[in-house]
Amino acid sequence: MPRRSRSRSGAARSRLAGGALGLLGLLPGLLCCAPEPLPPPTPLPGFETPFYFGGFTVPADNPLTVEGVALGRMLFYEERLSADDTISCATCHQPARAFTDGRTLARGIHGARTPRNTMSLANLLWGPQRFFWDGRAVDLEQQAGQPIVNPDEMGSTWDEVIAKLERAPAYPASFEAAFGTREITPERVTKALASFERTMVSTGSRYDRYLRGELRLDPREQRGRELFMTHPDAKAGIRGANCIDCHSQFLTSGFAPEFDGFQNNGLDDDDQLEAGLMAVTGRSRDRGRFKAPTLRNIELTAPYMHDGRFATLEEVIDHYSDHVVSSSTLDPLIREAANTPGAPLGVTLTHDEKAALLAFLRTLTDHEFVHDPSLSDPGA
């Protein structure tokens, strides 16, 4: 019995050895036919931002690469992301309008009206790193994905989106170039979109040229800048428009730490206040607080406020000057700001001060940004 057992084991070893030799004989042929490994994604070259904007961070698991940004740009203009192939991100975020849409309230699939005005996408690397008017998205990746599956916006599902992208000739190879795999997933879609959005940096305005020492503002623009940057103090005789308290100096967006960039800016009384940030935090003190948007390209992004209630910049300035409404959560820096002792809420600007402030706001328009070919539809 032991001898027969060894004999069978020896035969098995012989068969295994023969099979291994056979595979080794085939290996050169298999190796010669294996696809060449793709090179790693290319770090985005020449991506620079103004020193006066300050530092920023990019997620370690979603670095800026040539291939990732190129894929994100394709997806940004891709109507297959919507349920009926009629809406892309660019439908609401149009380059010529500084990536807004000119509507009071954004329109989604089948013409559905959303409850919010479309925000600009400029300079998203800075300012509060919570996105949407109510701060419900914790990063740009989440911000990029929510409209795709929102029934009132793009109205799709991830299964539908992935199936359509897999059938589109250009996408599997583009995902492979960006991520090293042809597998398309929701995470990779949103990472690519977020990468493209991070490159939407607006730095070519007249104000930027002033900050770089390339020109001087004219006297009215300079007066408007001074008003913008000054918190008024009636007792001390210091006049200002109080903008700086909510719109940080150079970026003109909300301040970055946590929810510092969200304010109740006096649009409604307690009976009319919407939830705003309270919908995210659950805190009653956050009722009526909304994200302070960047004022870069503000001349191009009308109408204004989270609900698009103001059609013109003149109306916006009039609001802060003469029509601030009291409520229990009104921002204290707005409540106390006054140019005239004993005046009602608001900074009560003169006609000339309003004109100067408007002139300064127009220096924030960046025509290079809205016509930048690297941000345009790659299929146009």
Tens digits of residue pLDDT in 140-173: 999 999 999 999 999 999 999 999 999 999 999 9
Give the model's pLDDT for residue 82. 98
Looking at 201, 229, 257, which one is the last position of a domain?
201
Whether pLDDT at 39 is above 90: no
Residue with the larger pLDDT of the pair 26 and 198? 198
Whether 189 is in a domain gets the answer yes
Considering the domain architecture, whether residues 242 and 188 belong to the same structural domain is answered as no
> Do residues 141 and 218 share a domain?
no
Whether residues 342 and 221 fall in one domain? yes
Residue 369 has which token pair? 């940004």
Percent of the chain predicted with pLDDT > 90? 82
Mean per-residue pLDDT, 88-112: 97
HSE-up of 371 (CA within 13 Å, CB side)? 6
**Residues identified as active-site:** 153
pLDDT over threshold 70, residue 15 = no
- The answer to whether the pTM exceeds 0.85 is yes
The pLDDT assigned to 3 comes to 40
Reference 77, options 92, 96, 65, 90; nearest CA is 90
Same-domain pairing of 195 and 211: no
Q: Is the pLDDT of residue 117 over 70?
A: yes
If you average pLDDT over every residue of the chain, what do you get? 91
> Helix (H, G, I), strand (E, B), or coil: what is residue 242?
coil
Contacts of 109 (CB under 8 A, 6+ apart): 82, 83, 84, 86, 87, 151, 152, 153, 154, 155
Span between the terminal Cα atoms of the chain, in Å: 80
Domain span at residue 261? Answer: 206-368
DSSP 159-184: HHHHHHHHHSTTHHHHHHHHHSSS--
pLDDT at residue 1, rounded to an integer: 42
Provide the 10 A C-beta neighbour count for residue 32.
Answer: 7
For position 268, which CATH number holds?
1.10.760.10
Report yes or no on 41 lying in a domain.
Answer: no
The whole-number average pLDDT for the span 129-141 is 95
- pLDDT band at residue 315, thresholds of 50, 70 and 90? very high
Domain annotation covers residue 267: yes
Lowest-pLDDT choice from 17-31, 112-126, 268-282, 292-306: 17-31
**Which of the four pLDDT bands, split at 50, 70 and 90, describes residue 257?**
confident
Higher per-residue pLDDT: 14 or 163: 163
CB atoms within 10 A of CB 255: 19
Boundary (domain end) residue, out of 166, 201, 236: 201
pLDDT band at 33 (very low <50, low <70, confident <90, very high): low
Q: How far apart are CA 83 and CA 157, in angstroms?
A: 7
Task: Look at residue 250 and tell me whether its pLDDT is greater than 50.
Answer: yes
Mean pLDDT of 91-98: 98
In this structure, the answer to whether residues 219 and 345 fall within a common structural domain is yes
Q: What is d(CA 21, CA 53) in angstroms, rounded to the nearest whole number? A: 64
